[in-house]
Structure 1
Amino acid sequence: MKPQTASVFGRGAPQLDLTAGEMRAIVASALRDLAPESRVLAIVPDKTRDDNTDVLFPILAEILSALRVKRFDALIAQGTHGPMTEQEKRAKLGAGLGLPGLNEIYDHRWDDAAHLVTIGQLSAEQVAEATQGLIAEAVALSVNKLLAPGNYDIVLVIGATVPHEVAGFAGGAKYFFPGVAGPELTNLTHWLGALATIERVIGRIETPTRRLIELAATHIPARVIAFNSVVTRETSRLRTHALFAGELSAAFRQSAAISRQLHIKYTGRRYHRVVALLDEHYDEMWVGGKASYKLGGVIEEGGELIIYAPHLKRLSATHGRLIERYGYAPLEEVKEMVARSEELRANLCVAAHLAHVVYASRRDENGRLAPRYRITLASAIDRETCARVRLGWMDPRSFRLEDYAGDPNTLIVERAGRDLYLVAPDD
């Protein structure tokens, strides 16, 4: 198979349904020049991402075993999410009866200095140029200590490409920053996404955050080979529409171009009410907020987003205390909170989340700043907690989908949080 660019192998189109055999051929092409005795680390998504890792990872393991690599380990790119159970890890990696040659599966500890190493720094000038002046401060590049120089010869980055609120699209360098990064760039990139505003970031390939994380990724000391998939869910199976493997940024852009065609839906209008039937992969508001991120663009000013998610149990295992202390608010208000609070300045990823969930602001009938639309949560989170974080509450037992079906001013979205909804392409 010949590479599609100087450094990328693969195929992709909205109508494709790649087989395991076709994916194997792409993977083999990307790995064909690996030196014998290479030490290989695979960075893989966590359980909050619905992707084809369980298909790709066993293919990688078999090919690497045949190549007789010296060592093969995996690191979960969980960002600030909590660790998975051993059973969840095995299911994510498609372990089944075992994976040939795989040694260790490591969790990432973003907030523990003992698990991190600094591999460089971006200067204030570099940050200012990459972010077009939104942020102009130096930032240390700390990552999981497994990525320290000399540990591995090859790093494989595996993951699916979908619209994302912070970087524009998930995938590529995002699996390093914030996937396996320390707090410095994790906080800075999330806050940068908020400052750039979700409306100007989500669903766009070239963004300030993308420029910054790709600049940071040039400091990774090992050779990087990326495996970028584009998938959709069809009833009980995932369909792989694209797989591009090779150079990190080029493979990402080819997959993002396919994702734009599959994962962005255009409604042609805004709705007064959107009912989001939250995807089952999101069991806390830290990731369940994607219902707002990806649907806010089609909700009228003064409208309502109802998130039906009886499986959503908490705000965040990692950040819940801070979310409850400060509450969801428009970006303008969150900026003021950040200016007043040293605690929030030290946790800018939380500040960004507070603004992202609200999505955008408006002026109410009294001229006061308010969220552009109200959010009502029908979940396992209790009424009091919703009130503390300034969300509406609905008893999920009283939710009836038929109450909303047929209303021309209501849009019902299944598996909400997966696809991005916009009014028109120019959005």
Structure 2
Amino acid sequence: MAESIGAPEGIIDDFDVRAFVLDRLASEELDGARVCVIVPDATRSCPLPLLLGAVHEALHGRAAAVTVLIALGTHAPMSEEQLAKHLGGPYEGFDIRNHEWWLPETLVSLGEISAERVAQLSEGRMRQAIDVTLNRAVVEHDVCLVIGPVFPHEVVGFSGGNKYFFPGIAGQEIIDFSHWLGALISSAEIIGTRGITPVRALIDEAAAMIPARRLALCLVVESGRGALHAASFGAPEDAWAACADVSAQTHVRYLDAPVRRVVSIIPEKYDDMWTGAKGFYKVEPIVADGGEVIIYAPHITRISAMHPEIEQLGYHCRDYFVKQWDRFSDQHWGVLAHSTHLRGAGTWDPVAGERPRVTVTLATGIPESVVRGANLDYLDPRAVDLDALAADPSTFVVPQAGEILFRLR
């Protein structure tokens, strides 16, 4: 069982957070151990300077070696300046690294999940063997300690726990595989789903193959600020489950009726549409059929530096790909998944073509030709009057969009 502190309606004092981390790590057999600490990148709200400061106090001079590994998934690497701001420090004796997912020599295969087992875990949606490839750190350290928040998530239901291994520090093949499984279920259906979803089941199965002992400090973070509502420490499965229960109460807001238009104001921690698209995922459930989501982010000037192919592929609903699979099966499935997540629900057939449920409009710094070329609508951000939109009874404006999920009662 995981040990937990906090509650959905409260905020934990920093002193109590530090004491909790110190106490939990003191209770673990870490003397002389090589410890890999896996943490999120800057796209997640998380008080890492507070937490890593406590981890450093608990492990420096006690553990034989400590590596802090940034769980990028397939995001862009963080610079030394960005890391210093994100992590705090300095942390004497700690080796801080980005997960270099694009370098095959940094990865190791842990084995294979069979096609038959994949079919069971995916509830029949997929049936092919998958190579479980992960950052080499998992075989070079005795203990892997995950530190990261739990939020409603478009691929897995609720993020956190073993998700910091897959996709956090995984190879691209299994990242693409798990994301496409989530896309087959659809973002609108899986996001904020409690319990073990098919994607979570696949992730847990893969994580069980890690040779190092796995621990997790899971967190429920106040969105946009970084204060903690709750924290749980233990096996990743247990700590995650405890925090997912709290996140379901803290990070989900309910509306009584659908709205015609939503304006999602994207915070600057999302610096491209690959990450800023969370401003769509979290509001899609409350938009009326035929409605519109405006992604307002003047600071975003590109769709994705790490996945430029999305500009040629464009954004399309799930059926567009599934019903033309012979055209798209050789694309990176993670890119296809991102495409469907931002395009949202819809239909496609060879006669009527594509019919999205809602309109997605980008009011960003991305050039109009790129936006329209990617099959989205364009709005000049200079023409957006946020005050007027907020006063419009048919419009719902979401500040700091991307972490709070909105649903209908």
- Give the deviation of 1:409 after TM superposition: 1.3
Distance in 2 (alpha carbons) for counterparts of 1:277 and 1:46: 20
Match of residue 321 from structure 2: 334
Distance in 2 (alpha carbons) for counterparts of 1:37 and 1:94: 25
- Give the deviation of 1:296 after TM superposition: 0.6
Given the superposition, is the C-alpha separation of residues 130 and 363 from structure 1 closer, same or farther in structure 2, using an over 3 Å criterion? Answer: closer
Match of residue 134 from structure 1: 125
Contact 1:62 1:100 (8 Å CA) reproduced: no
Is 1:9 aligned to 2:31, yes or no?
Answer: no
Is 1:261 aligned to 2:249, yes or no?
Answer: yes
**Aligned counterparts, 1:144-155, within 5 A:** 144-148=135-139, 151-155=140-144
Distance in 1 (alpha carbons) for counterparts of 2:227 and 2:53: 17
Match of residue 400 from structure 1: 385
Distance in 2 (alpha carbons) for counterparts of 1:105 and 1:208: 33
Give the secondary structure class of the aligned counterpart of 1:415: coil
Distance in 1 (alpha carbons) for counterparts of 2:106 and 2:93: 24
Is 1:410 aligned to 2:395, yes or no?
Answer: yes
Is 1:227 aligned to 2:217, yes or no?
Answer: yes
Distance in 2 (alpha carbons) for counterparts of 1:279 and 1:268: 26
- Give the deviation of 1:252 after TM superposition: 0.1
Distance in 1 (alpha carbons) for counterparts of 2:334 and 2:357: 22
Given the superposition, is the C-alpha separation of residues 9 and 408 from structure 1 closer, same or farther in structure 2, using an over 3 Å criterion? Answer: same
Match of residue 29 from structure 1: 23
Q: Which amino acid aligns with 2:119?
A: A
Contact 1:166 1:190 (8 Å CA) reproduced: yes
Q: Which amino acid aligns with 1:155?
A: C
Distance in 2 (alpha carbons) for counterparts of 1:62 and 1:50: 22
- Give the deviation of 1:374 after TM superposition: 0.6
Match of residue 316 from structure 1: 304
Distance in 1 (alpha carbons) for counterparts of 2:22 and 2:29: 10
Q: Which amino acid aligns with 2:210?
A: I
- Give the deviation of 1:369 after TM superposition: 3.3
Match of residue 19 from structure 1: 13
Q: List per-residue Cα deviations over 1:105-138 (Å, max 9, x = no partner).
A: 1111223211111012111121111111111111
Match of residue 72 from structure 1: 66
Distance in 2 (alpha carbons) for counterparts of 1:39 and 1:328: 43
Q: Which amino acid aligns with 1:325?
A: Q
Distance in 2 (alpha carbons) for counterparts of 1:13 and 1:33: 24
Q: Which amino acid aligns with 1:9?
A: E
Contact 1:117 1:144 (8 Å CA) reproduced: yes
Match of residue 244 from structure 1: 232
Match of residue 99 from structure 1: 91
Distance in 1 (alpha carbons) for counterparts of 2:30 and 2:164: 24
Give the secondary structure class of the aligned counterpart of 1:79: coil
Contact 1:62 1:99 (8 Å CA) reproduced: no
Distance in 2 (alpha carbons) for counterparts of 1:400 and 1:300: 22
Is 1:384 aligned to 2:376, yes or no?
Answer: no
Give the secondary structure class of the aligned counterpart of 2:372: helix
Contact 1:12 1:258 (8 Å CA) reproduced: no
Q: Give the TM-score normalised by the residue count of structure 2.
A: 0.96
Q: Which amino acid aligns with 1:331?
A: R
Q: Give the TM-score normalised by the residue count of structure 1.
A: 0.92
- Give the deviation of 1:200 after TM superposition: 1.9
Is 1:42 aligned to 2:37, yes or no?
Answer: yes
Match of residue 201 from structure 1: 190
Give the secondary structure class of the aligned counterpart of 1:16: coil
Contact 1:15 1:241 (8 Å CA) reproduced: yes
Consecutive unaligned residues in structure 2, runs of 5 or more: none
Q: Which amino acid aligns with 1:175?
A: Y
Q: List per-residue Cα deviations over 1:10-50 (Å, max 9, x = no partner).
A: 21311221122211232233222324211111011011112
Given the superposition, is the C-alpha separation of residues 116 and 253 from structure 1 closer, same or farther in structure 2, using an over 3 Å criterion? Answer: same
Q: Which amino acid aligns with 1:355?
A: T
Q: Identity of paired residues, percent?
A: 38
Contact 1:338 1:351 (8 Å CA) reproduced: no
Distance in 2 (alpha carbons) for counterparts of 1:44 and 1:339: 38
Distance in 1 (alpha carbons) for counterparts of 2:8 and 2:329: 47
Consecutive unaligned residues in structure 1, runs of 5 or more: none
Which residue among 43, 60, 64 is the counterpart of 2:55?
Answer: 60
Q: Which amino acid aligns with 2:187?
A: I
Q: Which amino acid aligns with 1:159?
A: G
Is 1:275 aligned to 2:267, yes or no?
Answer: no
Q: List per-residue Cα deviations over 1:332-359 (Å, max 9, x = no partner).
A: 0022454213541xx0000001111111
Give the secondary structure class of the aligned counterpart of 1:287: helix
Contact 1:308 1:379 (8 Å CA) reproduced: yes
Distance in 1 (alpha carbons) for counterparts of 2:352 and 2:306: 36
Contact 1:280 1:415 (8 Å CA) reproduced: no
Over the aligned positions, Cα root-mean-square deviation in angstroms equals 1.6
Q: Which amino acid aligns with 2:235?
A: E
Give the secondary structure class of the aligned counterpart of 2:399: strand
Which residue among 356, 369, 380 is the counterpart of 2:341?
Answer: 356
Distance in 1 (alpha carbons) for counterparts of 2:390 and 2:40: 35
Give the secondary structure class of the aligned counterpart of 1:312: coil
- Give the deviation of 1:101 after TM superposition: 3.1
Given the superposition, is the C-alpha separation of residues 35 and 262 from structure 1 closer, same or farther in structure 2, using an over 3 Å criterion? Answer: closer
Distance in 2 (alpha carbons) for counterparts of 1:146 and 1:33: 20
- Give the deviation of 1:363 after TM superposition: 8.0
Distance in 2 (alpha carbons) for counterparts of 1:339 and 1:330: 16
- Give the deviation of 1:78 after TM superposition: 0.2
Match of residue 293 from structure 2: 305
- Give the deviation of 1:197 after TM superposition: 1.4
Match of residue 102 from structure 2: 111
- Give the deviation of 1:256 after TM superposition: 0.6
- Give the deviation of 1:331 after TM superposition: 0.5
Contact 2:113 2:132 (8 Å CA) reproduced: yes
